[in-house]
Structure 1
Amino acid sequence: MNILLTGSTGFLGSRLARALCSEPDVYLTVAVRRHLESPAAQVLEVEGLDANTDWSTALTNQQRVIHAAARAHVMKDEEADPLAKYRRINVDGTRNLACQAAKAGVKRFIFISSVKVNGEQTSSGLPFTAEDTPAPEDAYGISKWEAEQCLKKIAEDSGMEVVIIRPPLVYGPQVKGNFASMIKLVEKGFPLPLGSIQNQRSLVALDNLVDLIITCIDHPAAANQVFLAGDGRDLSTTELLHSVAKAAGKSSRLIPVPCSFLMFAATLIGKQAVAQRLLGSLQVDISKARDLLGWEPPISVEEGLRRCLVKD
């Protein structure tokens, strides 16, 4: 099977490319913006990702497209108009690629979206589902939702199958951002005032997400469906920190401080968004992938964290 992968140099894409190259009967082409050597995949350079990108060469003879390239979520976005920037890449670029893919005869288009399409938080015990009415709140989430709508319209008009996967926070080897910062604090033994957090958050290990994507490449029941990704086990922030410490072979030094005080302190210093991610709940229901695809996350949270801490 011929597969075109975008975003192959990113955190998810690089891991996915390695996995696809080890799959039997898969002939992988990766589209990149800069020169890249790969002994296992055909590499094609493309100019950017927007409404004007020419994908004709990359799409020749392709049967599947996995679109993982995007303008990623930016915590402190300094763009004058962040939504316009996200739309240019995540909406216009995705629409352009999908339209050309449909015209080129691509059978299935797999789009890596985000749980931010569903929203930013859930009430404990009431996880997001794939059938919930989308409620994105920030520019990134809005752009991913708009891209999904474009893809569904293209699928209706062309007959090309579309599969949408919405992951929550993804962790794994070389993870960056706040998750990496948290790991460093735990490894260094810093005391943290997060010893009594009773929220519930869904995460997805990188290898679990890769496995779900590969399952969706050719599964008949995946056609024109939306799936939420996850490890199948939710953790409180306190449980997560204990688990990270255990995986690292360290003692967790967590001080029990009331959530109300932490939120008040975060508000005073303008860090409400950070506090919300640490203190609030965000759960996803992966039963649709289990029921329709027979999919189960292949690795546990503990194994995912262990792999996350392995130094390559």
Structure 2
Amino acid sequence: MNLILTGARGFIGSYFQKQYAHKYAIQPFSFVNDDVETLHVKNVETVIHLSALVHQMGGASDEAYEKVNVDQALQLAHKAKENGVKQFIFMSTVKVYGEESAIAYTETSPCFPEDAYGRTKLKAEQELQKLADENFVVSIIRTPIVYGSGVKANMQNLMKLIDTMPLLPLGGIDNKRSFVFIGNLCALLETIIDQRKSGIFLAGDDVSLSTTELIMLLAKAKKRKLLLIKPPLFATLLKWLKPSFYKRLFESLTVNNSKTKESLHFKNPYSTQEGIALMVQGTVQ
């Protein structure tokens, strides 16, 4: 099967190419280096659009988010549909729902995005779905935080903290957060490609973790002795001084993707413990 893949040099794209080059003929495409007008799509069955301007980049204008996350996605989708491509897969985010919530998000939860990243991803989803018909399948995958070998941003920072600090004030946190190991996400992507199913799908590991549980699993995988304490005023001070950081550490954001698993007859191939161990080992499975 011939595929076009954007974001091929990114975290997810690199993993997907390494793991599935034996199964698919993957043609990378970059909006930075290539021209969509001259993109060769003959005999291509599926386009996978991973590239995006994400919220971690910070400082980007609303116009930049609109251009990358909406305009480029639609430009590529129109090109694909006009040339007989059968499926367009769009990698989205749980940020379309909004921010932290005590209730788990599902595939059908209402969306109230709170930042430019979430708003533009949701807009792209909605516009792409308008292109779907019996000859052009649009598949959308919403992901929580993706982790694995080579991960950057908050997960990488947390691992560095565990490496350097024998004591952390993050004990006894009873929130829940959903994550997805990159091996599970790409297995879901493979399933959606092979079944060519349309709709909105949610990625996620089988269990959610509290911040404390995540730190303990990371420390165990790293074979680091770590003492977690719960200072009485730490959470209050952090909430006042760094509210966004407080939310990520102390509040909940979970997904319930049972509908996705049932509709695709899909099972995650890796447990969270296995995924964390592989990430820490720097192993691509």
TM-score normalised by the chain length of structure 1: 0.86
1:306 equivalent to 2:280? Answer no
1:76-113 CA-to-partner distances (Å, cap 9, x unmatched) read: x223xx22110011001101100111001010111100
Q: CA deviation at 1:33?
A: 5.5
Counterpart pick for 1:113 among 92, 100, 124: 92
State the match for 1:41 in structure 2: none
Q: How does 1:66-145 map to 2 (within 5 A)?
A: 66-74=48-56, 77-79=58-60, 82-123=61-102, 126-145=103-122
Task: Tell me, yes or no, if the aligned pair for 1:241 and 1:252 is still in contact at 8 Å.
Answer: no
Structure 2 counterpart of 1:183, which letter?
Answer: M
1:21-45 CA-to-partner distances (Å, cap 9, x unmatched) read: 022xx211111367xxxxxxxxxx5
Q: CA deviation at 1:159?
A: 3.8
**What is the CA–CA distance in structure 2 between the aligned matches of 1:116 and 1:188, rounded to whole Å?**
31
Q: How does 1:1-312 map to 2 (within 5 A)?
A: 1-23=1-23, 26-32=24-30, 45-47=33-35, 53-54=36-37, 56-74=38-56, 77-79=58-60, 82-123=61-102, 126-156=103-133, 159-220=135-196, 222-223=197-198, 225-258=199-232, 261-269=233-241, 271-311=242-282
TM-score normalised by the chain length of structure 2: 0.94
Structure 1 counterpart of 2:77, which letter?
Answer: A
- What SS does the corresponding residue of 1:85 show, helix, strand or coil? helix
How many residues align structurally?
Answer: 283
**What is the CA–CA distance in structure 2 between the aligned matches of 1:58 and 1:308, rounded to whole Å?**
35
Task: Tell me, yes or no, if the aligned pair for 1:200 and 1:282 is still in contact at 8 Å.
Answer: yes
- What SS does the corresponding residue of 1:251 show, helix, strand or coil? coil
**What is the CA–CA distance in structure 1 between the aligned matches of 2:135 and 2:130, rounded to whole Å?**
10
Task: Tell me, yes or no, if the aligned pair for 2:166 and 2:225 is still in contact at 8 Å.
Answer: no
**What is the CA–CA distance in structure 1 between the aligned matches of 2:208 and 2:59, rounded to whole Å?**
33
Q: CA deviation at 1:257?
A: 2.9
Task: Tell me, yes or no, if the aligned pair for 1:2 and 1:61 is still in contact at 8 Å.
Answer: yes
Q: Which runs of 5+ in 1 are unaligned?
A: 35-44, 48-52
Larger RCO, structures 1/2 (Cα 8 Å, 6+ apart): 2
Q: CA deviation at 1:134?
A: 1.1
- What SS does the corresponding residue of 2:28 show, helix, strand or coil? strand
Structure 1 counterpart of 2:44, which letter?
Answer: Q
Q: Percent identical across equivalent pairs?
A: 38
Task: Tell me, yes or no, if the aligned pair for 1:196 and 1:257 is still in contact at 8 Å.
Answer: no
User: Over the residues paired in the alignment, what is the CA RMSD in angstroms?
Assistant: 1.6
1:229-276 CA-to-partner distances (Å, cap 9, x unmatched) read: 001101100011010001111122211234xx334312443x111110
Structure 2 counterpart of 1:64, which letter?
Answer: T
**What is the CA–CA distance in structure 2 between the aligned matches of 1:272 and 1:230, rounded to whole Å?**
26
**What is the CA–CA distance in structure 1 between the aligned matches of 2:138 and 2:231, rounded to whole Å?**
46
State the match for 1:42 in structure 2: none
Q: Which runs of 5+ in 2 are unaligned?
A: none
